[in-house]
Structure 1
Amino acid sequence: MLDSVKISRRQSEIRKELATLAGKEKPTEDEQRSMQDLDREYVTNEMRYSAALIAEDTERREAGEELETRSDKDWSEMMGRFEMRQVALLLDEGRKLDGATDEIVSELRSQGGYRGVPVPWEALEMRAGETTSDGTPNPMRTAPIIDRLFADSAATRMGGRMINVGVGEVEYPVTTSAVSAGWVGGEGQDAPGPFAYTTLDRPMKPDNTLGITMKITRKALKQSGAGLEQAVRRDMNGAISEALDKAVFQGSGAAGEPTGLLAGAAGWGITETSIGAAASYAAFRAAAVRFMTANAASGPGAVNLLLRPELFDGMDDDLIAGTAISEWDRLVAKLGKVNMSSNALPVPVGDPAESVAVMTTTVGGVPPFFVASWGAVDLIRDPYSDAASGGLRLTALTTVDLTVSRSVQTEILTGLQ
C-alpha cells in the first residue's frame, strides 16, 4: 500500500477520535492528554502526507516513462511467442490455446467480432530459426518445407504505408487552400487577403474483404510437425501480400476489389501522361522535372519508379550512338529507386506492345498512398469439406482499403512501348 494512502487513513481515524473527545463537556486529564497527542500527530502526518505525495508522483512519472518505452517492445516480444500451430490444432482437434497465443486471441476478440480465430498481422511475419524438429527417432528426416514463389511487395518499395484500423472509418485531410503571401501596397493599407484555408478528405472504408482458402492435408499435419508453423505462416503471408500488391495498383474498384492507383487516377486527380513512344530516359526525366516544379520532390533522387520487366529489356538494349551506355543505365543513375514488378502492373498489350509505369515521391515524411487493414486476420475453419480425408481447410479473411495522400505525389505514364 502507498504511504500516502496509509497516512490518509490514519488521519481519518484521528479525526474520528478527536470528534469523539471534543463532544465531551468535561474531559478527564487522560482524555485531554490524548487530544494533545492526537493533535500533534495530525499536524505531523500532514507534513508526511505532502512529502509522500511528492515522492510518489516522481515514482509514477518514472514508471510511466518506462511503460511508454516498454509497451511496444513487450508487444513485439509477445507476438514473437504467438504460434500458428496452436490455431491449427484448435480448429482441427479442438485443443485449447495456452500461453501468449491464448492471451493475444482473447485480447483481439474483446476488440472486434470474429467468426473464427483472430490472427494478428504480426504473427504472419517470417521468423528465422524455426525448422522441423528432428528429436524423434525416424529413419527419414523431413527437411524444412520449400516455399513457393511470391512477388516481392512493390507497394512498400514505392513508398506506400500500411496502417491498421481498429474499428470504423479513417480519413486523411489534405490541405487544398489557396492561402498566399502578398506585399502591403503602402502605408496604412491592408495586407492581402483574407484567404480561406480548406482541406480535402481522403477517406478509407472497410468495404473490401480479401479471402484466402488453404487446405492442409492429413499428411502435412503429421509429417511436418513444428515446421508446418513456419510454412503456413509464410504461405499465407505471401498470398496476402501478392494479392494486396496487385490490388494497390490494378484494383478495379468493383467485384469486391479496392480501387487501385491506375483505375482511380482520374478520381484522385493523379496526373496521367501518355508517351506513345519507346520508353526512354528522357520520358522519365521529364516526369521527374514535373515533380520538382510542383514542389513534390527536391531532385530526381527523391523519385521512385515502378515499371514492367519488359521495359527494362527494351531500354537496356537501346544503346546511345557511339557508346556502351544504354537508356537503362542513364535512368538508374539519376532516379532514386527504379523498381520492377510483373505482379503489380498489367501485362503490355497492343502492337507494338505498350505498358504503363508509376512514379511516386514522399514529401515531408508523408507517403504517396496509404493501405489500411481493419483489425486482425480472421482465420476460420471449415469442418465439413475435408472431414472424410482428415484434412484441415482454413479460410483467412482480412478487410483492406486504399487512398492517396496528395495526388501531386504520384504520376502515371502510359503508352510506353
Structure 2
Amino acid sequence: MSERGERPRCAWLGDARGALPVARALVEANLGELVVAAECGDLAGDLLALVPGLRLERDWESLLTRADLSVVVIASDADGVLEGARQLARSGARLLVWVGGSATRLFSELTLLDAESPGRLYPLLPQRHLPAVSQLADDLARQKLGGLLSVQFARTQPGIALDAATLDRDFLHDVDVLRSVLGHFEQLTAFRHADATGRILQATTTLGGPQLPPIVWQANPGGAGVWTLTLVGNLGRVEVAANDRELTLQRDGAAVQRWPWHDAVHGAARQTIEDALTGPLGADQPAGQRTTWDDLLRGVELLAATQESLRRRRTIDVLFEAPSERNLFKSHMTAAGCGLLLLTPVLVVLYLLVAAAFPLPEWLKIGLVILVFAPFGLFLLLQALVWITRPSAAEIVVQDGTPESPRAESPQT
C-alpha cells in the first residue's frame, strides 16, 4: 500500500499458470489494482475473469510508457520477459517475481539491480506462509520438539517418472520451506536413480546445517502430487501433509488440524502479497518468515549445488555471500584476469612468429610489444580499485546486524 493508503496500480507480465493464485489474492483481497497485463498468453482468459476491464498488451514495452504503475508481477522467465523485467526495474517499478522451475537465469540477471537498490525486488514464495508451516515454525522457535532427531520432506509427482524441470521447481519451493523453519544449510549431497532409458525414478537430496540432523528431501513418482514434512524431536513429533484437497498438521497427542487446500493457498498468497507491498511485518512475525531477495538467492545456490553434487558425485559445501557491487566487481575483475592470463602468452607467441618471419623496423617492434603487454598491465593497475572500494570494519556486518571482523579474502578462481 502507498503511504496515503491508496491501492498500488499493478501490472502483470508473463504466462505462468502457477502464479495465478497470486493474481487472485491480489484482486480478491483488494490489495492492489490490476490494470494491465502483457505477454500473458493462455492466461488472458483467467485474468479477464478476475478483472473484466483488464487491459491486455502484446509486449512489455507498452508497460514502460505507463507512469501510473508502481508494482509489476513477473510471471515468466522467457527472454522477452527477462529483458522487460530489467527495464521495468530500472524505471523504478517494484517487481514481485514468481519463482518458476527454470528461472535461475532471471534471478541472476536481477541480482545486480537488487544490490544497487535493495527492496525493489521481492520473490513470491507463498509456500512458507501456509498456515501449517507457520505453526511449525512457531513450534520450533518455542522449542516444543526439543532437540531434532530427524527431518524428512517426501514429495510425489504424478506419472511413472520424474520430470527434471518440475523437480527443480519443487526443490526450490520446498527448500525455502525448510530454510524458513530450520535456518541455513551448509552442506548438500544429491542422488538420482534412473532406469536404462534415462528416466528419473527417484531423487534424494540430503542437507546439513549447524546443530541440525541430516535433512532428507526425496521425490518419487506416484499418484496425485502430494508432499509430507515430518520432524521428530526428543520431545515429540510433528507432520505437515498437503495434497490437492487439504493441508493438515498432526502433533503428538493432539487432534489433526485441517485446512481446505484452496483456502490455505489463497491465504498464503495473500500473506505473500501483503509482505511484498508493505514490507516485513511486525516483531510478532518469526524472523525466518520475512522474505528477501537473499532468501531466493540462497535457494538458487542450493539448487546449483544439487546439480554440482550430481555431476561430481560427492557432498558439496554451500557458501553463500550476499551480493554487493563490490563483490560483483571482484568477480568481473577475476574473470577478466583469467582471460588475460590466457591471452597474453598467445599474443607473445604470435609476436615472436611475426618478428621471426618478417623483418620489422625497430619502432614497430616496440609498438607491438606495448600492444601485447598493455592490456595485462592496465589490468594490474586496476587491481588498486579493489582496495579503494574495500569497506571499513564498521561496514562489515553479518545478517543479524552484529559487527563482524574483516576476514582475509581468498582469491576466486
- Please tell me the TM-score bracket, short chain as reference: under 0.3
State which structure, 1 or 2, has the greater radius of gyration over its C-alpha atoms: 1
